A and B are shown apart, each in its own frame.
Chain A
Amino acid sequence: MKKALIFGVLFLTGFLRAEDSSYEAEKAKALKSPYANDFGPASIDVSSYSQEMQDTYKNIFLVKCQRCHQVSRPLNSQFVEPSAPKEQHASVISKWKAEHPEMFKEKLVWQIEGKTASGPGVWERYVKKMMSKPGCNISPPEGKKIWQFLTYDSEKRKTGANAAQWAEHRRKLLAGFKAKYPDRYRELYEVQ
Chain B
Amino acid sequence: MLRKLFIWGNLVLLLVFLAAVVEDLAGPYLPQGWANYQRQYRRMQLAAESNEESRKSIADRPIEIKQILATDLEQVDRCTSCHQGMDSIATPTLHNTFTENPYKSHPGDFLKNHPPEKFGCVICHGGQGIATTFLGAAHTPKDEVQKAEWKRKYGWKPTEHFDRPILAPPYIQASCAKCHGNFESLPGTEVAAKGKELLGQHGCMGCHQWKGVGGPISVDLAEETANKPIGRIDFSHTGLSKEDMNLLNWIRLHFVKDPWEMTPGDPEAKYNTEPIAPSGMQNYTLPSPAYPDKGPELTEDDATALTTYILSARSEKLPYNYYVPGPKDATFADMHFSSRKEAGKWVFDHYGCAGCHGVNAKGGRRNFNYQGGGLEPVLAKTVGNYTRDELRKKLEYGVPVVNKENEKGPTPPLYMPPWKDRISSEEMEALIDYLFSIAEKQEEF
Contacts and interface: CB of A to CB of B under 8 A. Distances in A.
Interface of A: 29, 32-33, 68, 86, 115, 118-120, 124-129, 132-136, 140, 143-144, 147-148, 187, 191
B376 A125 contact: no
B403 A135 contact: no
Main SS class of interface, B: loop
B375 A125 contact: no
Contact of A191 (B385, B397, B403, B442): B397
Given A120-B445, A129-B382, A187 B397 contact: yes
A185 to B, nearest CB: 14
B281 to A, nearest CB: 18
A59 B382 CA distance: 26
12 contacts: A68-B372, A125-B387, A132-B378, A132-B381, A132-B382, A133-B371, A133-B372, A133-B382, A134-B377, A135-B371, A135-B372, A135-B374
Contacts of A135: 371-375, 405
B371 A68 contact: yes
Interface string B385-424: 1110000010001000101010100000000000000000
B352 interface: no
Nearest to A69: B403
A160 to B, nearest CB: 23
Nearest to A137: B372
The 4 A-B residue pairs whose C-beta atoms are closest, nearest first, are A135-B372, A135-B373, A134-B372, A134-B375
Nearest to B366: A134
Interface string B420-445: 00000000000000000000001111
Contacts of A132: 377-378, 381-382, 385
A129 B407 contact: no
Interface string B350-387: 00000000000000100000111111111001101111
A136 B397 contact: no
Interface residues of B, number: 26
Most chain B beta-carbon neighbours within 10 Å: one of A29, A33, A115: A33
A136 B372 contact: yes
A103 to B, nearest CB: 19
Contacts of B364: 134
B401 A33 contact: yes
Given A29-B407, A133-B377, A128 B387 contact: no
Nearest to B443: A140
B445 A129 contact: no
A68 B403 contact: yes
B401 A147 contact: no
Contacts of A136: 372
B412 to A, nearest CB: 12
Nearest to A118: B387
Given A29-B407, A119-B387, A129-B382, A134 B445 contact: no
A191 B371 CA distance: 27
A144 B385 contact: no
Interface in B100-154: none
Nearest to A136: B372
Contacts of A129: 382, 385-386
B200 to A, nearest CB: 26
Contacts of B445: 120, 124, 127, 143-144, 147-148
A6 to B, nearest CB: 36
A133 B405 CA distance: 13
Contacts of B370: 134
B358 to A, nearest CB: 12
